């Protein structure tokens, strides 16, 4: 697989991996049938993402993009995190092979899913703010990538 | 760092003997075998000598061996040729198995577009077709049975001799893709009773881009490649002299060392399988007994194959996986789905395939590094978390 050194670094030494016990926003996207599930945990205090972690079942790019995405939003405001795009994640990793672009989309979606969960827990409807995201669908068929 | 090549089902290293035998035909003896002068005659002799050696290894007549570009071409010629030949007699039905190589399955797809009908035999949980199901599938208009000798992913060996008998009884042409079998296990075309058999040199330490087809005497398929009069006018193109020389030397060597090598490989294979099965929720894919001596194919629940391969690569190990993420396709391997694995399990597959170059030390190393890699990937997998919670 023609991965950049940065991708391999984040794959071999993923940052912020594992569960976050005191998370106040958890989002999960992807589907096991397709071979990829990303789960993001965020802890928000005063509108700042003070801590973040992830768990990923998926390819090397999926693990590396999750890791990079957590680094990019850690310490940022919720508003900044909402603006994170898959493109930014890819650029930070010095690019991805074309067949792996969807893995970075998954990382963007996972963060949005965690933020939605955070808003919901605050009693705020996330849809006008975060937009619609494809929720985790265990039985989804023919919808991979 | 230790380096282990464990992907010999994908391709093998060109052997030193094969390379040495090839060199003169890449340098000094460059004559065209069709030419009359002595430089051409030298090349002609090399090609015919290679044909004799290959025929002998397969218990065939040299006139039944035709050289070509590899396994894919052999499969294409055998299947399209037999189909078009039989179509003239109104026979347009073909029987195959669900887990053939794409060189067979995609060739059949293109024949279906021409109006041929294809029956796909089940390969069951153990990855082996059932002869009685083949016999039941044969019809008046069955033109061809094409079933592989040994599967390239899970290494299961098909009952080719019984298939041959059934085909003979019903007068149906029998082709077997023996790309994974030739050089790996004994292959005797008379014993199998096949009409067509595909061979590829790079699977047994020969060069890439060269192969052969066995075509039983009396069977004349329409040509796939038209042009010059090479290969008795059956397959055009100036011969790949160095290629066929390398193939013949590699095959001869493989057959000479086969018995001893396979006894060693089977022991290594079984030790590796037993060791990896100690990992929680791991499974072996395909029949344990009727499988190639060098093939190990496992699934580890809760992890994805590409990340497993990358982790192995970081430890110096080259292997392969049937996960969708490795191939860039949407679905995991059709072979693993054909033996009934659910998608999420098939994504977590690992194929390790060995040749005479591998050693017991390789197995020690693999048994040392694979369990912690599996543990690490599972520890970061939300799917594994669910599997554990639900059990
Ligand atoms: C079973 C089988 N058939 C056909 C092929 C194609 O052979 P080649 O690569 O020589 O075209 C392969 C190997 O790739 C194979 O494993
Ligand atoms: S998770 Fe399947 S390709 Fe990345």
pLDDT 10s digits, B83-105: 999 999 999 999 999 999 999 99
Chain B contact probe: residue of A35, A41, A107 with most B CBs at under 10 A: A35
CA of B179 to the centre of ligand 1 (A): 6
- Confidence check on the interface: ipTM exceeds 0.90, yes or no: yes
pLDDT at B91 (0 to 100): 97
- Residues of chain A contacting residue B328, judged by C-beta atoms under 8 Å apart: 99
Instruction: Say if the Cβ atoms of B344 and A33 lie within 8 Å.
Output: yes
Instruction: Note the residue count of chain B.
Output: 391
pLDDT at A139 (0 to 100): 47
Closest residue of chain B to A62, computed from CA coordinates: B307
Percent of the residues in chain B that have a pLDDT greater than 90, as a whole number? 97
Closest residue of chain B to A27, computed from CA coordinates: B382
Condensed to tens digits (0 to 9), the pLDDT of residues B142-192 reads 999 999 999 999 999 999 999 999 999 999 999 999 999 999 999 999 999
pLDDT at B288 (0 to 100): 97
Q: How confident is the model at residue A95 (pLDDT cuts 50, 70, 90)?
A: very high
Integer Cα distance of B120 and B333 in angstroms: 16
| B281 in Cβ contact with B214 (< 8 Å) | no
């Amino acid at each position: 697989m023609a991965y950049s050194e940065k991708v391999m670094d984040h794959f071999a030494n993923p940052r912020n991996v594992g569960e976050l016990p005191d998370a106040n926003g958890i989002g999960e996207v992807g589907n096991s049938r397709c071979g990829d599930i990303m789960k993001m945990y965020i802890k928000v205090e005063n509108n700042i993402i003070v801590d973040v972690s992830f768990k990923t079942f998926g390819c090397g790019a999926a693990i590396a993009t999750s890791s990079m995405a957590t680094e990019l939003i850690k310490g940022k405001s919720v508003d900044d995190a909402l603006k994170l795009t898959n493109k930014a994640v890819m650029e930070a990793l010095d690019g991805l092979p074309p067949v792996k672009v969807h893995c970075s989309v998954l990382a963007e979606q996972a963060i949005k899913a965690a933020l939605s969960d955070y808003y919901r827990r605050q009693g705020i409807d996330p849809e006008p703010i975060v937009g619609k995201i494809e929720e985790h669908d265990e039985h989804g068929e023919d919808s991979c990538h | 760092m230790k380096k282990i090549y464990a992907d010999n089902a994908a391709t093998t290293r060109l052997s030193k003997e094969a390379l040495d035998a090839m060199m003169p035909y890449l340098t000094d003896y460059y004559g065209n075998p069709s030419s009359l002068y002595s430089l051409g005659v030298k090349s002609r002799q090399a090609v015919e000598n290679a044909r004799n050696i290959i025929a002998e290894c397969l218990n065939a007549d040299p006139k039944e061996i035709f050289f070509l570009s590899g396994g894919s071409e052999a499969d294409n010629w055998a299947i399209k040729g037999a189909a078009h030949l039989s179509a003239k007699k109104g026979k347009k039905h073909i029987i195959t198995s669900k887990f053939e190589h794409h060189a067979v399955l995609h060739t059949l797809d293109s024949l279906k577009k021409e109006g041929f009908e294809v029956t796909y035999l089940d390969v069951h949980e153990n990855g082996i077709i059932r002869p009685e199901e083949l016999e039941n599938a044969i019809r008046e208009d069955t033109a061809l049975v094409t079933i592989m000798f040994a599967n390239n992913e899970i290494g299961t060996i098909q009952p080719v001799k019984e298939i041959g008998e059934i085909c003979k009884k019903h007068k149906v042409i029998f082709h077997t893709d023996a790309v994974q079998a030739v050089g790996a296990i004994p292959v005797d075309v008379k014993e199998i009773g096949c009409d067509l058999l595909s061979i590829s040199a790079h699977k047994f330490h020969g060069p890439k881009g060269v192969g052969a087809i066995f075509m039983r005497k009396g069977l004349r398929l329409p040509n796939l490649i038209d042009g010059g009069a090479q290969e008795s006018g059956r397959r055009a193109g100036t011969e790949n002299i160095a290629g066929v020389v390398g193939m013949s030397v590699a095959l001869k060597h493989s057959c000479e060392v086969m018995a001893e090598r396979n006894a060693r490989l089977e022991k290594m294979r079984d030790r590796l399988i037993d060791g990896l099965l100690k990992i929680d929720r791991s499974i072996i894919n395909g029949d344990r007994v009727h499988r190639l001596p060098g093939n190990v194919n496992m699934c580890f629940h809760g992890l994805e194959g590409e990340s497993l391969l990358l982790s192995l690569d970081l430890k110096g190990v080259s292997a392969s996986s049937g996960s969708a993420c490795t191939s860039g396709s949407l679905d995991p391997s059709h072979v693993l789905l054909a033996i009934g694995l659910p998608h999420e399990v098939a994504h977590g597959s690992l194929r390790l395939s060995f040749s005479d170059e591998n050693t017991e030390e390789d197995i020690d190393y693999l048994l040392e590094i694979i369990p912690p890699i599996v543990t690490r990937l599972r520890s970061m997998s939300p799917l594994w978390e669910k599997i554990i919670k639900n059990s």
